[in-house]
Chains A and B, each alone.
Chain A
Amino acid sequence: MKIGAIAGVRARQNLGWVWVSLVIGFIYAPILVVIGASVDPGHYVMNRAYLQFPPQGFTLYWYFHVAPALWRSVLVSVELASAVTVGAVLLGVPAALGLLRGQFPGRNAVAALFRTPLQIPFIVTGVAFLQTFNTVAAASGIALQASFTGLCIAHLFVATPYVVGAAGSALARLSPRLDEAALSLGASRWRTFRRVTLPLITPAVFGGAMFAFLVSFTDVTIALFLTPEDGVTFPVWVYGSIQNDLETSMPAVSSMVFLASGLMIVLLQRLIGMETVLRGGGAKG
């Protein structure tokens, strides 16, 4: 290749990286503001009614003085998202296996069924589930509309498609010859699944599970309608606080959650190799 062509390639690559940096900048700009505001001293008695950026000083005080209710909401969100993730995997992986390996009439329709929750706007899902739970409560006395269980069910509904999609993509890429080879060597079906199939789709399933966790942890729309009585979720708490009485430790908690999630992702990367995780992510059926 000529020197000019190489330089052209270099320039295009650099331009590409500038673009990526701009995108990252766009994504991170508000986060940096929040982190900056979290170290602002503010006032200890009459809290600031707004976020102060740039910060007028530096202190980690608010990182150590988080309102207990705010911590509780973070715990509720983590519990909820974890439950949803486990549920989504337990539902989604068998579903994907059945869809991709099974032979039954209406397979396409069932596949479409699992994609449908992603076609319903969250506001509609929230309203529909609220009214359904109210109806169930009026008819049977089982109150799901303001409960952890009810919200868990609604989140499962919208999160499972991600796992089905991820596992499905991974299974579609697997050659059936691998299974046949194992079986011809005398392995039982279960053993084949456990030792051959499962390890190969695990990274993709992790990717889908991570999306499921993210969707549940960050959801506000559905959680607003189905707020559990005994504990609001973290995003709903923050939203309510902004509406009514700004809690000064919020930026600090947000920053801590951000750091924790970053660490979690690094850990995942070490455990299973992020590259393969991301190869399988997304909700393509």
Chain B
Amino acid sequence: MRIFVAGVVFLLACLGGALAQTPTQFPDVTLRVATFPGAWAERIRTEIGGPLAEAGIKLEFIAGTSAEFLAKLVASKGQAAPFDVVEIADETYADFRQGGFLKKLDLSHIPNTAKLDPTLYDEYHVANWLSEPGIVYNVDKFDAAGIPAPKRYSDLEDPRLAGRVLVADVTIYVAYYQITALAYENGGSEREPAAGFAALKKIAPHSATGSIGTVAQLLQSGEVWAAIWPAHLAQRLAHDGMNVAVVHPPIEGKRVALARGYVGLVSNSPLQDAAEYYINAILAAKVQQRFHTESGLGPVNSDVQRDAAALAAKDRAGVPFSRLSPDDIANAWWPDYQAINKRDWARQFQRALAD
């Protein structure tokens, strides 16, 4: 009997050994991913670096913002691609396409897209995180000053809030949301943003920033009482004990403003298969869950969204900070970037901000 068992074990060991010799799926490639600096890239590395390495893909990260990556692609036109996978922000997508910097993906190689809402992907870009610009405000400060909770962006024009509201700078996508939303609330639109800039001037902002570190620091120090910023900031501040809440003013009848961060494949990259493998990996439920848990950003995978909505962090009144259910995602709003002239908006923004 013992000999029999030993024999089986021996055979299994040989089999295991044979399986371990199987060549990796990819022939030892280095995939260069251009994504955000800071803790973000580290999360990706620790979460999928291992499984990808087993498949033969080594990850290398290039740090920067979407605009910087676009600038790099513009500068290296006609030469070898500086990276393979690139993080694409909503407002730069049109420029990426216009410049011909993106290659079509074979979506059959990215099966996890089945878990995404159809508005979150197409053949050129696939969303990998979501954020929801809204009004993040310090409930304690508002209560102490007797200011009612804001319901619309225009409510921030309250004179008691002069110099106490932080707005997003033109260097970050949230700026386009705030101006467009203010424009719509005052009878304008993307094509006629004048009303939005006028409203911004009436809000008399404290300042404008594109840096989450600054927003967090100013809210925490109490110098600023409200900020027009994505909801995940509130989640992190509440985690530290601040009494914050988020307002998602409806725009054009939609319940929540949604910003999407995409990934895409650079047009003259030779690593299409590896890139598609990577993209599929970051759409996986476990990875999306981790992104959400650690940074508060919204998951794109609808399985995770369902759980996230149920377990969503709530403010002290019991209202969730983010609206992440698949239903909310399907009922979301974003600006029509085609109608926005960035140069012009930057200039008008500067004027509206001047004291």
A255 on the B face (CB < 8 A) = no
Minimum CB–CB distance for B46 against chain A, Å: 9
Q: B295 — which chain A residues lie within 8 A by C-beta?
A: 46, 245
Cross-chain contact B213 with A243 (CB below 8 angstroms): yes
In the complex where A134-B75, A138-B79, A240-B63 touch, is A49 in contact with B211 (Cβ < 8 A)? Answer: no
B-contacting residues, A213-237, CB 8 Å: 227, 229-230, 232, 237
Asked whether, in the complex, the Cβ of B294 is within 8 Å of the Cβ of A49, the reply is no
Residues of B with C-beta under 8 A to A146:
72, 82
The answer to the question of B214 belonging to the interface, with a C-beta cut-off of 8 Å to chain A, is yes
Docked CA distance A137–B75 (Å): 9
Q: How many Å from the CB of A147 to the closest CB on chain B? A: 11
Residues on A with C-beta less than 8 A from B214 are 242
Q: Are B60 and A230 in contact (CB under 8 A)?
A: yes
Which residue from chain B places its CB closest to the CB of A134 in the assembled complex? B75
Q: Mark A103-115, 1 if CB is under 8 A from B, else 0.
A: 0000000000000
CB distance from B84 to the nearest CB of A (A): 12
Known: A134-B75, A138-B78. A244 touches B37 (CB 8 A): yes
In the complex the two chains form, what is the Cα distance from A28 to B8 in whole Å?
Answer: 71
A244→B64 CA distance, assembly (Å): 9
Does A160 lie at the interface of the complex (its beta carbon under 8 Å from any beta carbon of B)?
no
Report if B220 contacts A (CB, 8 A). yes
Q: For the complex, is A43 an interface residue (Cβ under 8 Å from B)?
A: yes
Our pick among B65, B80, B236 for the contact of A49 (Cβ within 8 Å) is: B236
B293 touches A50 (CB 8 A): no
- Scan residues 206-220 of chain B and give those whose CB is less than 8 A from a CB of chain A: 210-214, 216-217, 220
In the complex, the answer to whether A43 meets B240 with C-beta atoms within 8 Å is yes
Q: Is B324 an interface residue (CB 8 A)?
A: no
In the complex, per-residue mask of B57-82: 1 if CB is within 8 Å of any chain A CB, else 0: 00011111100000010011011101
CB distance from B210 to the nearest CB of A (A): 6
CB of A67 within 8 A of CB of B213, answer no
Interface size class, chain A? 20 to 34
Is A46's CB under 8 angstroms from B294's CB?
A: yes
Residues of B contacting A227 with CB < 8 Å?
63-64
At the interface, yes or no: B329 with Cβ under 8 Å from chain A? no
Complex interface: chain A residues within 8 A of B76 (CB): 134, 137, 143, 145
**Interchain CB contact under 8 A, A143 and B79:** yes
With a cutoff of 8 Å between Cβ atoms, the chain A residues found around residue B61 in the complex are 69
Q: How far is the CA of A191 from the CA of B75 in the complex (A)?
A: 51
Closest B residue by C-beta to A237: B37
B243, chain A: closest CB distance, angstroms: 16
Given the complex of chains A and B, what is the CA–CA distance between A112 and B295 in angstroms?
52
B65's contact among A52, A137, A244, by CB below 8 Å, is which?
A244
Q: Which of A41-55 contact B (CB under 8 A)?
A: 43, 45-52
A6 CB to closest chain B CB, in angstroms?
A: 48
- The answer to whether B240 and A48 have CB atoms under 8 Å apart is yes
> Complex: how many Å from CA A77 to CA B78?
31
Mask, B32-44, CB within 8 Å of A = 1, is 1000111111100
Instruction: Decide: B217 and A50 in contact? CB cutoff 8 A.
Output: yes
For B38, give its contact among A43, A130, A246 (CB under 8 Å).
Answer: A246
Q: Is A4 an interface residue (CB 8 A)?
A: no
Q: Which residues of A contact B65 (CB under 8 A)?
A: 243-244
Q: Which 5 A-B pairs have the closest CB atoms?
A: A240-B37, A245-B38, A49-B216, A241-B38, A50-B216
Question: What would 27 A/B residue contacts be, using CB atoms closer than 8 Å?
Answer: A45-B294, A46-B235, A47-B236, A49-B237, A50-B213, A50-B217, A52-B220, A67-B39, A137-B76, A138-B78, A138-B79, A141-B79, A143-B79, A227-B63, A227-B64, A229-B32, A230-B60, A237-B37, A242-B211, A242-B214, A243-B38, A243-B211, A244-B38, A244-B40, A245-B212, A246-B212, A246-B213
Interface residues of B (CB under 8 A from A): 32, 36-42, 60-65, 72, 75-76, 78-80, 82-83, 210-214, 216-217, 220, 233, 235-237, 239-240, 293-296
